[in-house]
Structure 1
Amino acid sequence: MKAEIRKHRFALTLLFSGVVFFFLILTMMVVGCIIIFLIHHGVLEPIGSGPRFYRLIVRMMIASVAIGSILTAVASRIPLKPVNAIINAMNRLASGDYKTRLHFGRYLSKHPTAIEISRSFNNLAEELERTEILRSDFINNFSHEFKTPIVSIAGFAKLLKHGNLTDEQKMEYINIIEEESLRLSAMATNVLNLTKVENQTILTDVTEFNLSEQIRNCVLLLENKWTKKNMIPELDFGEHMINANEELLKQVWINLIDNAIKFGDEGTSFNISITETENRILVSVADTGIEIPAEF
């Protein structure tokens, strides 16, 4: 693999050197032709005899090409260093090393273009690193959350299978199995919705609708839950219109309000407010439960 990489880098150096060499030869040919043209038309006078003078010009051109080729081969590595640095960093990033950061040399790093390139690359690497951490945490937490109801369902199903249970116990275990099954279904739905949102870099089905009415409907959908806990919804907002995907945004409000009910204290209230500024609309859902740590 390393030999192949070195081969590719050498090919890049040859390509760059070849381009510089081509322009060098082209320049020498143009200059030589101009000198010969001027001599033929009497604008320039040759020093010494004609043949010797032309041989001198040809030798000078050959020597210039030879010296230029050597200098090109040596000097071409200098401008290619930043290119190689970018390629190396991109390869490391592609291989999963999200801690990779791009830094140019002491002098080049002061150039505005180099600053912009390194900043963009490093921001990309940081975002990928954070995404990888979130992905790992999500998989771990999700696996645990899925395992818990599955174990419960399997355990109570075994108890039902063994028999020797009263009708009251059977009904209790069936209710638990039903509740855990619904919990699994809800988690699967949330994952599908999350995947749907993540895959939609460009949202479709964007329409204008009444945001206030949508939130009121979501509160009514969860009425059974907040009435069981004797909670009172406090809706502190007027009428607000918004352009968005109505279906996806509805799922957001249901999740937030459901969490406020779930973690709120019994017999208290949860508050929903809407604040509209020139560029955005801020929706706040607050409850009296345990405060979420700032790092989350």
Structure 2
Amino acid sequence: MKPEERKHRLALTLLFSGIVFCFLIITTAVVGGIIVFLIRRGILSPNGEAPRSVPLFLTMMIASILIGVVLTAITSRIPLKPVNDVINAMNRLAAGDYRTRLHFGKLLGRHPTAVEVSRSFNNLAEELEKNVIFRTDFINNFSHEFKTPITSIAGFARLLKRGDLTEEQKAEYIDIIEKEALRLSAMATNILTLTKVENQAALTGVSSYNLSEQIRNCVLLLENKWSKKNITPVLDFGEHYISANEEMLGQVWINLIDNAVKYGDEGTEMIIDIAENEKRISVSVADTGVEIPPEAKEKIFRKFYRESKFSSTEGNGLGLAIVKEIVRLHNGDITVSSSNRKTVFTVSLPK
């Protein structure tokens, strides 16, 4: 627990202790006043110099209980109101009202502990609301992305069934059906990969290997794509080693390099660089092409998100979501910069 949090907890303890102490003082004062009043009125008769102890003790005990019960019933609503507010807000949240927010009154709302409780609750509610929105968007986008190739396959299959097509048309339609089927397969694979990574709490399969060699192999795997666009890979790094999940990081580099080829202009360079210090190692993949708008830099890592200007480019909007989750699982981070027609994705990982 942080020192600041300890201070807040101590302040809360002192606050409730003070409330209980005030109740005791008030109860004692009221009971004492009643006893003095009763003695002066002669209802409690003293025996010599001192009042009779047993009747006085029983009277004070009964009076204390009665007065304590009455005072508690009247005043308990004040200290318990914040607790009731929290319980009611939690019940609304549990019922699915994710727009619920917790706000204490002006007096208690200034207390550091109350500020911390309300901030934590409101952050939780905001995250749950975002997750619901993301889930809805995911289902909608998922349905749309799967419906499009299925519709294409069904449509061209119906045309093939007619039988009045030339061999050239048949070959063309079969190619389209194959392409859409492969697109569905790739999408299903990406969704399974993303789900697996998201549900994985701890990194497994860690080994030490040559990162530079892995990236060079990934570039060679995509040679058919970058050679068609006459893009020149520039691998400006020496030999670097890392301890990580080799298979997972391979998916990261494949996705980043594939994006650089897809969105880079023909005849340009794709620059890949590796830098490291004592604790971390960074890999950057840069291309020259259409810039990513500033407002889209965070959105591009969401599932199925595709910037409107890139909607005609092949893809399903899952690659960067997978990249981000794999990097997160490795306790790393990924950043993007885009200006002057140059876009750079940088992945920083612990060595």
User: Does structure 1 residue 110 correspond to structure 2 residue 114?
Assistant: no
Instruction: Flag the structure with larger Rg.
Output: 1
Query: Greater relative contact order: 1 or 2 (C-alpha under 8 angstroms, separation 6 or more)?
Result: 2
* Mapped partners of 2:295, 2:258: distance in 1: 22
CA deviation string 1:31-89 (max 9, x = no partner): xxxxxxxxxxxxxxx95268944212211110011001111222222222222222222
Residue in 1 aligned with 2:208? 208
1:97 maps to a residue whose letter is D
Residue in 2 aligned with 1:242? 242
Residue in 1 aligned with 2:232? 232
1:129–1:157 distance in 2 versus 1, CA, 3 Å = same
How far off its partner does 1:274 sit? 2.9
Residue in 1 aligned with 2:183? 183
CA deviation string 1:218-242 (max 9, x = no partner): 1111111111221111223333333
Decide which moves more: 220-229 or 49-58: 49-58
Query: Given that residues 233 and 271 in structure 1 are in contact (C-alpha distance below 8 angstroms), is that contact kept between their aligned partners in structure 2?
Result: yes
How far off its partner does 1:153 sit? 0.7
Which ranges in structure 2 are unaligned for 5 or more consecutive residues? 1-19, 29-44, 297-351
2:126 maps to a residue whose letter is E
* Cα RMSD (Å): 2.6
- Write out aligned runs for 1:110-259 (5 A): 110-259=110-259
Higher helix fraction (1 or 2): 1
Residue in 2 aligned with 1:101? 101
* Mapped partners of 2:84, 2:242: distance in 1: 48
Residue in 1 aligned with 2:73? 73
Query: Given that residues 233 and 269 in structure 2 are in contact (C-alpha distance below 8 angstroms), is that contact kept between their aligned partners in structure 1?
Result: yes
Query: Given that residues 47 and 53 in structure 1 are in contact (C-alpha distance below 8 angstroms), is that contact kept between their aligned partners in structure 2?
Result: no
1:71 maps to a residue whose letter is L
- SS of 1:295's equivalent in the other structure is helix
1:132–1:212 distance in 2 versus 1, CA, 3 Å = farther
Higher strand fraction (1 or 2): 2
2:100 maps to a residue whose letter is T
Query: Given that residues 272 and 283 in structure 2 are in contact (C-alpha distance below 8 angstroms), is that contact kept between their aligned partners in structure 1?
Result: yes
2:83 maps to a residue whose letter is V
1:214 maps to a residue whose letter is Q
TM-score under structure 2 normalisation? 0.66
Which ranges in structure 1 are unaligned for 5 or more consecutive residues? 1-19, 29-45
* Mapped partners of 1:131, 1:244: distance in 2: 29
CA deviation string 1:245-272 (max 9, x = no partner): 2222221221221122122222222222
1:273–1:129 distance in 2 versus 1, CA, 3 Å = farther
Decide which moves more: 146-155 or 125-134: 125-134
* Mapped partners of 1:286, 1:132: distance in 2: 34
1:237–1:113 distance in 2 versus 1, CA, 3 Å = farther
1:97–1:151 distance in 2 versus 1, CA, 3 Å = same
Decide which moves more: 214-223 or 59-68: 214-223
TM-score under structure 1 normalisation? 0.77
